[in-house]
Amino acid sequence: MSSTATRDRGAVPRLRWAWDFGPLLGDIDTSRLLPLLNALAGGGALGAAATSAGMSYRSAWGLLRRCEEALGVALVVMERGRGTRLTELGESIVELDGAARLTLGVAHAPWERRLRDLLAPVVRAVPERLRLAASHDLALADWIEHGRGISFDLFWRGSEDALEGLGRDECDIVGFHVPEAWTQEQLLGSLGRWLKPAVHVCLPLMRRCQGLIVARGNPHRLQTLADASRRGLRMVNRQRGSGTRSLIDQLLAANGLRPENIDGYAREEFTHEAIAATVAAGQADVGFGIEAAAARYDLGFIPLVWERYGFMMRKTTADSVEGRAFLARLHGNTFRQRLIAMPGYEPLPVRAPGAWSGFLV
C-alpha cells in the first residue's frame, strides 16, 4: 500500500492509501477499482456506482472488464432487473479493504496529525473551488476528464435536482437542458420554481439531439416510443429528477401511453452512457438519450428532439475571479472543437451570462 496527501473542499489534508495489485493487473490503473467495488457493494446500478467513484459509466465498465480479463475471474455480475452485484471474489476484496482501512487508520493517525501541521499554512492559502452540479452530458464529461487545470468540483445531477440545489445555495453553477420547442413561458415558469431573475443569470452553451437508442440497424424498425410500447419491447429509463426523464414522460403523455404498460419503465440509469451500454449489452431493446452516446457504443439512433444545454449561476459567481476563469475555459477552442467532433452537437455563439429570456434565442 502507498500513502498520499490529498486536499478536499473545506477539509484539512489527510493520509490515504491505495492497494498495489502488482503484476496481477499489469499496467491497469486500479486507483479507482476499490472505490468502484465499494460503491457496488450494496447492489444497484453501475451508473450510480461509477458516479460515486468519480468515473464515467464507460470508464467503470472498461476498468471492470480489463481487471476481470487479467484475473481470469469475474468481479461483478450484471443481471436484468437486479442491477450489478459483486461476485464472491468482489465481496471478499471489499471486506479485506474495509478491515485494512480500520487497522491502518489507527496506525496512520500520528502521521496524519504531523502532515496536517506541516501543510496547515498551505491549506489556508488554497482558494475555494466552484461547485458545478450538472445534468449528465458526454461532451462536458469528456472535457472535464481530459482537461488540464480545471478548478471546480463536478456532481452529476438531474436538471431539476440541480436547479433546485442552486436555489438552496448547495452549488455555484448548474448545467441543465430544455427542449428547443419550449416557449418562453414554459422556460420562465420552470426556472422560476427555484430561482430568481434578479439573482441568477443563464448561459446557453450548445444544442444537442436526443432520441431513441436502439440496436445497430434498428431491427425493430422503431420510430417513436409508442412503437416500443405497442410491440412490448424492453425499455431502460432515466432516473427521476433528470431533464431527460421529464422529456420521456412528456412524450409518453403526448402519445397517450401509461408508464405502467411499458416493460422496463421502472428500470433507471443515471447517465446517457449507461443507457447506451444497457442497450449494447442486450439488457434492453430501447432507451432514450443523446446521439453521441449511441455512436459511442455503435448503436442505432432515431432523432426526436433538439434541446438547449447551458448553465445557470448567481450573478456574483459570474462576476467572481473563479467564475470568469471557468467561463473563459468553457468558451475556449478546445471545448468548441470537441462539440463539433461529436455527433448530435452544435456549439452556440459565445456570449456572457445574461437574462433567462436569452436561453432559447
Grid cell digits, residue 304: 426526436
Q: Could you say which DSSP state residue 260 is in?
A: G
Cβ-proximal residues to 195 (8 Å cutoff; 6+ apart), any chain: 163, 166, 167, 312
Q: How far apart, in whole angstroms, are the C-alpha atoms of residue 136 and residue 127?
A: 26
**Which tops the pLDDT comparison, 105 or 49?**
49
Element (H, E) at 175: strand 173-179
81: left (phi over 0), alpha (psi -120 to 50) or beta: left
What does residue 25 show for φ and ψ, rounded to 5 degrees?
Answer: -115, 10
What are the pLDDT digits (tens) for 108-164? 777 777 777 777 665 544 446 889 999 999 999 888 776 655 667 888 999 999 999
Confidence bin at 356 (pLDDT 50/70/90): very high
Q: How far apart, in whole angstroms, are the C-alpha atoms of residue 207 and residue 48?
A: 26
Q: In the chain, where are the structural domains located?
A: 2-94, 128-361
What does residue 241 show for φ and ψ, rounded to 5 degrees?
Answer: 95, -10
What does residue 12 show for φ and ψ, rounded to 5 degrees?
Answer: -85, 160
Cβ-proximal residues to 324 (8 Å cutoff; 6+ apart), any chain: 318
Helices 33-40 and 88-125 cross at an angle (nearest 10°) of: 120
Task: Please determine, for residue 328, whether its predicted confidence score (pLDDT) is greater than 60.
Answer: yes
Question: What pLDDT sits at residue 26?
Answer: 78
Within 13 Å of residue 339, how many CA atoms lie on the same side as its CB?
20
**Which tops the pLDDT comparison, 150 or 295?**
295
Q: Which CATH architecture has domain 2-94?
A: Orthogonal Bundle (1.10)
What are the pLDDT digits (tens) for 174-232? 999 999 999 999 999 999 999 999 999 999 999 999 999 999 999 999 999 899 999 99
Q: Which CATH architecture has domain 128-361?
A: 3-Layer(aba) Sandwich (3.40)
- Say if residue 229 is exposed, middle or buried (CB neighbours under 10 Å; 0-12, 13-18, 19+): buried
pTM for the full predicted model: 0.67
Task: Please determine, for residue 8, whether its predicted confidence score (pLDDT) is greater than 50.
Answer: no
As a 3-state breakdown, the chain gives helix, strand, coil percent values, each rounded to 5, of 45, 20, 35
